[in-house]
Structure 1
């Protein structure tokens, strides 16, 4: 690495360095996918010794004198070097020799079983990357063939499997057992660390877990409390957070746009979880926020999975002026069947309920006033949001409706909103009770299945 390049990297911000690392991961994985042969190089030592030698002692001696990257990743013991007719070493023939590390692992006794889910995942990743069938949880990654290039693959696959692994952690804890123990101790410190962060919008429901977190977006500008029961019903080892438009204490935050709200949400999210993949669940009027958060994360090179709870995209478009002929036709159809009920519902919807809402607006004070102000602001920015398709997959939880054609419109609205995959997941219950007692268990089960499905596909794509 040149001095000029070192200087440039030193001047990068932490976020820019993380983005640079993420791009490097993607390039390595893309190159390896397009070729049957691994697209990386390793330092290999071919040793001809007068007598048997202790490989570990030789490595330790070498590490005391040179940096880690100069220590050979593989060692081959030679009786004689193969020669060409001109007397030079036949380097092509050397490649057929089996490294000592491979021989040792082929012959070593059966390795210990992993003690927990994190060890199990890490061990499977190490075996895949190092192409070794028998690895012990105490084996040092860099002593059994690992190097800095392979470590990028390990980190990328670990993140795809829901383990938020950093390069520094792998270099400091070089075997599966120590690395898993470190991750467990990190989980224990997470709750305390989150409480010390300066977070305006993020609230912890279930702070710990090794899986990618689920972020629950507020409904209608403020409400997220109903997610508390839902979060407790999800599988263990899944961190769950809620995002509120504004804290109710202190200065009120009224965003001028959906884009600005999404930007603030991501700033909080990144403090808790610097890298994806991320899961989001949107409900009612916060679907625009869900779409925009995913869009902005996509622009940062992150992966996101958007789960929609029984809600149409751009719901207010149903009341747009362009829909007047359709609404008039539907009104006349209802009037023909039951004129008294139709007129009564029309008067209530157009005059009585709006009047009651205005009267309530004038009477509320304190916390109710804050909730109302946040809700009205959210409807305003929702109305002005410019809806555009995202690349992220969308998973749609869908309840049965009395009017089946309405669900057809809901599905069609989301087909327009993603260039990725749209998966429709039928779920029991009524829209208003998805996160309440009696229905929440079914909702949590379906959301768990959707997240597992996404992570499984993500892991396959990264192989």
Structure 2
């Protein structure tokens, strides 16, 4: 067809009807105009059997609109690139397609797709990675551009794969649980927000689900605190009224906290370049001083005036409003410890770190201080305060996660956020001042106290419990006590922790399993080592050969034996850590009659038995289910590996929600 006809949707529809066209390939923007001009498109094009959408992302609403308007026409969403001979994957949109973004689907015949991480390792289902394409249609390279060819066309790292070479697309995707690929955006569009990697395309897809939003673009700009903050540019539908408050509330119900844009800017249209691409440089920049360019709310009383310089000192910022959020200003767990130490010095009040989860603004924290200074906190409130509502919203049963050896639950923030807004997530914390509490001398008494705490919000099972390292041991004892009391535990999750009192870290016998495990493990170690400074590499090797869960030696133990840099651990929690290590050593675990789910890190200690069950089968009678996750023991909860853990945990929880609880 002539270009003039293609650019005239009305003429195009007339020509298709005249010539009884049965198949057509077009871009979504043209398809949208055709549907708007001809609501009765099925009557005009009764012979059309196949419509292929390609060249642009297909919005979910447009796909569903086409399916409803053209029930007898198949709609395929295609993805590809010139380097792989055009289209490489396909997905058929149906009335049952309920994805937040239309998937790009599965590879076509004679095409192979791989989702790999930065170390060219395959990533698990649900974890973002870069898409690589192989197959018969792969180009040999770029004409007279050897450097670009070497960069984008690589040897296939998967030894058993049929393709010798792969094309590095630069596109970030992930596998859905049904095996389809979901496009998340360009690799260059991935940014870090508060230490967590974010794909802006995923946020855009969610914003477009809002009934009043026609188009959405999300970019990262430097905020007034110097950190990167998300800005959403939104084009409303012609007849829709969309406010910033509406968009913010909608985003908070659909996205983890770190993916909610800091600012929303509404536009009549998105600026385009002459060739029809988004002109990012023409988008208005948000204010770099304050949200809405004006809201520097000053302190209103003596407590807020005294608290403000503490925030300024800890966060190293001068302009702070009492409405500012600690985490949005760049705060993290180590800064929180320092903040609360300064608060104790300045006010004489020792607050639990969990106060920041409920009151993360300066005015909110001032309110907590007011309450504590005006009245004594009851013992009942102290008991309940062990529960930290990291993410209390959602319709699913709550997941209770026990603190690590230092008592903090800050390390679970990213995990809770990646599980999504519909999964309530509570942490169980220990405070430094409890180091000499007799209750903390034994695992059994700690577990009993924590059961009492979780039953204040969930009196009856089934329960969903878990923990990382030392927290997994406490969760195990909690599960034992709950089952003994006649309660049901649907999920008991251990995040890369071996069974207590096991010989997992003892000197292994030389068997085929240990040799294979050692050789495979060395590769993961080398990959990790390449990403850290040489000085730290030497220090790790000098301190010890393995970096796994510590085998505690009791009170008075030298913490340097178990942590690479003790100077980074706040002094106020050293004694609590020693107390917990002593309880760990004295613990005599009983057999557990039900099942456990173990999330085993790829990189294990170099010297261990390489038991695939992490020795839990020696204690657990109802079966051990093992989920492999990326990373090693020390970075399981850190980006990007926490995404792998969250995807696996979400799958395990969803499965437990739909299956009858074992009795």
- Please tell me the TM-score bracket, short chain as reference: 0.3 to 0.5
| TM-score, normalising length: structure 2 | 0.33
Going by fraction, where is helix more abundant, 1 or 2?
1
Which structure would you say has the larger RCO, counting Cα contacts within 8 Å and 6 or more residues apart? 1
Going by fraction, where is strand more abundant, 1 or 2?
2
| TM-score, normalising length: structure 1 | 0.46
